Each structure stands twice: as C-alpha cells, then as structure tokens.
Amino acid sequence: MNIQGTKSPQSLQKTLGIGLTLGVSLLWLLALSGTVYVSQNKLNQLFDSALAETAQRIMPLAVVEIINREDPQQAQQIMSFEAHDERLVYLVRDETGAILLQSHNADPKLFNETLLEGFSSSETHRFYGASAVQNTLHIEVAEPLTQRREAIIEIAVTLFWPLILLIPFCFIGTWAFVRYSLRHVLAYRSAIESRGSGDLTPIKVNDLPVEILTISESVNHLLGRLRRALESERSFTANSAHELRTPIATALAQIQHLQQEVAAGPIKDRMLKIEATIRDLSNLSEKLMQLAKAEGGGLLSTEEHDLISLLSLIVDDFQRSKPVSLIKLTLPQSGEFMSDIDLDAFAILIRNLLDNAIKHGTKDQPIEISFSSEGVLSVINAASLIPAETLAQLRQRFVRSNTAVQGLGLGLAIADAIVSGVGARMTINSPATGRVDGFEVSVDFTVIKN
C-alpha cells in the first residue's frame, strides 16, 4: 500500500544487495590502490638496486677496456654478440663529456648532458651515474621506464579482474542471503495478506527475528483488543435485541387483545397505529439481531452443505410464509454445490434478498432466482433504475433509495456483512445484466473455495 505523498517503499533485499556490493567494490578498489602503491615503491627499489649493481659491474670492465686501447680517446661501440633487444644501455664518457665507450644500442641523446652521480630520471628513462679513476671516467646506465610501468599495470589488471566476478556474486549472494534470512518475515506478510478482513485472531508465525517479534506481539495485542471491543459491541446489540423480543411480543399481544374490546372509531385507529409502530420495532430488533450475527464470527460451519438444495428449501419456506406466485427459481438440473457457509447465515442472506425483491420490485413482475452450477447466486426483479452513485452506497447501514415502502436500510448491509464475512463477493447492478431496467444482486460463492 502506498501512502500518498511519501516515497514508494524500497525492497530491503535490493537496498542491501546494492549497498553491500558497492561497499565491497569500494573496499576492493581501495585495497587495489594500496597494493599498487606499495608494489610500485618496492619495484622501484629493486629495479634501482639492479641498475646501480649493473653500473658498478660494468665500470671496472670498461676501465680495463679503455686503458688497454692504443688510443684511449677513440670512441668505441661495443659490438653485440648476437642481435638482441637491449633493455639496459650505457655510456662511458671522460670528464669533458666525450664518449669513450657505449653499448651497441645506446643513443647518446637519451642520456643526461651533464655528468651526474647516483640516480636520476628523464621522461622515458631511469639513470644511474658513477665515476672512477679520479673522476676521469664516468659511466651512466639507462633503463627504460616502460618496464616498470608494464609491471605495475600488470599487477593492477590482475587484481582488478576478480572485481568483475565479485560484483555479480556479491549482489546475488546478498540477495539470496537476505531472502533466506527474511523467510519468516515473508511468511508473516503472507499470513497477514491471506486473511479475510473480518479475521481478528492472532497472527501466528514461528521463528520471527527479534526485530520483528516485538512488532508482531504488539499487532496481536492490538488485534486482541479490537476483537474484544467488537465482540462486546456485537453481543450488546444481540443481547439488547434479544431482550426486546419478549416485551415487544407482549405489547403486541396486548394491543391486539385491546383492539378486540374497542369498537371502530378514533380510538381503534390510534390502536392500529400503535400496533404498526410496535411491528416496526419488532422488525428493527430482528434486523439488529441479524446484523449482529452477520458481523460477528461463526459465519462458517465445520461441515459442508449443498447450497442448491438449501436454496430451494429456503425459497419454498419463504413462499409459504409470504405467498407470492411470481418467484421463478432456476437451479442446475443435477449436481450440488458444497460450501461451509453457516446454514443460518445463508438463510438470513437469501431472506433479505427475497424480501427486498418483493418489497422494492415492480408489483406483479416475476422475481428470478438462480444458482449456477459454478456457484453464482443471482436474484433479479423488475424495478426502476437507481442512479450509480446511490447504488454504490446501498450496502451501507441505514442507506435507502426507495422510501415509498417501509424499511430501515439494513437488508443489504446484513447481506454484505455475511458475504464478505465468508469471503464471497456480492455485486449489485441496476439495470440488471442484459436488461434495460431492473435490479440484480449476484453473489459469487466460488471464491470461498479458493
């Protein structure tokens, strides 16, 4: 259910799934950056020490080579033993910067112009410079930076790959785990959803998490209070209506008795009016008792009954007490429709619908009652049209449309309470289906079974 003006509710599964996946990904990226940073430092130290080592190893060889030459000032390029891609290149220069010896692939333009000692870097290379023979000879070894960069990129990529797998795994894993952990809460939700509006018994779901347990206890507590309040209201109505029966019957008997003793005249007329009023009072107490029953529990019985044979009994009985010749009852040729609706409740429902059809229907027009083999009861009578907005309110207590005849406006409220109490569905149509006028009430009993 959406409460207007508030944001639409979010699924806990989705929020946790997204939140945890984002968190884990972020932590992974942080760990990755840390690893890359530390590895880069360590790699640089390693590469640097190898570079310095190489320079110090080559230097004595170069010194011997240069000193043993006929003309030591003659620049010489060391020939390679076989063609290979040199990673480390070096240059040996004298104190003026003149090149005395260079490795076969060395490009002098790459090197520092000034003769530097120790480590230095250019855009593309890392250098290590050292001097020997009283600073008359200077060696500089260069190593391209691409090697170090490649190594770092490889480490970063290797560490990044698992994240691609981690994201869906983390999301699906959280989703499934949250669903598993919430299974009792979901059971609680469907227990609430599946119960009828009149069911106020405590909701029982086992193994609820502590966070929800208190809520469920409070809800049950509230339901209990509501049930007791409604029950006391209903029993008060039923009891008072019941208590009224005897005095009303006594008053009615006495006024009828008195009428016989009085001759026709104004006093007799007044007595007739009193009798009519007492009859209305009797009707009211009868309807109030029916309403109290309809709105109370106990609308379903433990046994199943065949509604088709029950309906024909009730209609027969009704015709005997109020002789009307025009009731047309249509029942399926064979078969039965079993339902666990309480016998009395079903009889009250049918009597109210028939009572209405006789009271409000056009006189001398047939009343059609049918019960389909699928379990749909329909009562149709001729009547003038009722505007849609009035029609929609007829189920409410004390709402009437036809005020020409006596009534209280409780019949349809009683019928509606019974129908919704047993979980069936009632529709009211004016005009009746397939007609231009008339009034139709149909009750679908199939829903009770599902």
Ligand X SMILES: Nc1ncnc2c1ncn2[C@@H]1O[C@H](COP(=O)(O)OP(=O)(O)OP(=O)(O)O)[C@@H](O)[C@H]1O
Site for ligand X in 34-73 (CB under 6 A): none
Q: Could you tell me if 349 and 310 are in contact, meaning their C-beta atoms sit under 8 angstroms apart?
A: no
62 alpha-carbon distance from chain centroid = 80
Cis peptide before 202 (omega within 30 of 0): no
Q: List the beta strands (DSSP E) in 29-106.
A: 76-77, 89-94, 99-102
Nearer to ligand X, 227 or 400 (CB): 400
Nearer to ligand X, 145 or 391 (CB): 391
State the chain's maximal CA–CA distance in angstroms. 168
Element (H, E) at 132: strand 125-132
Residue window 206-225: x/- pattern of binding to ligand X, with contact defined by CB under 6 A:
--------------------
126 binds, among ligand X, Mg ion, none (CB under 5 to 8 A by kind): none
For position 361 contacting Mg ion by CB under 5 A, the verdict is: no
Question: Site for ligand X (CB under 6 A): which residue of 88, 383, 419, 426?
Answer: 383
Residues 6+ apart with CB under 8 A from 344: 293
Report how far residue 371's alpha carbon sits from residue 331's, in angstroms, rounded to the nearest whole number.
5
HSE value, Cβ hemisphere, 13 Å, CA-based, for 362: 12
259 binds, among Mg ion, ligand X, none (CB under 5 to 8 A by kind): none
185: tokens are 């809460």
For position 356 contacting Mg ion by CB under 5 A, the verdict is: yes
Residues 6+ apart with CB under 8 A from 244: 281, 285
| Residue 378 φ then ψ, to 5° | -140, 140
394 binds, among Mg ion, ligand X, none (CB under 5 to 8 A by kind): ligand X
What is the closest distance, in whole angstroms, from the C-beta atom of residue 229 to ligand X in the complex?
A: 25
Report how far residue 103's alpha carbon sits from residue 86's, in angstroms, rounded to the nearest whole number.
9
Question: Site for ligand X (CB under 6 A): which residue of 174, 285, 381, 420?
Answer: 381
Q: Which stretch binds Mg ion (CB under 5 A): 188-196, 197-205, 255-263, 410-418?
A: 410-418
Nearer to ligand X, 339 or 352 (CB): 352
268 binds, among ligand X, Mg ion, none (CB under 5 to 8 A by kind): none
Site for ligand X in 348-377 (CB under 6 A): 356-357, 359-361
Question: Site for ligand X (CB under 6 A): which residue of 101, 200, 292, 412?
Answer: 412
205: tokens are 């779901």
Nearer to ligand X, 73 or 321 (CB): 321
Site of interaction with ligand X (CB under 6 A): 287, 356-357, 359-361, 381, 383, 394, 400-402, 407-413, 439
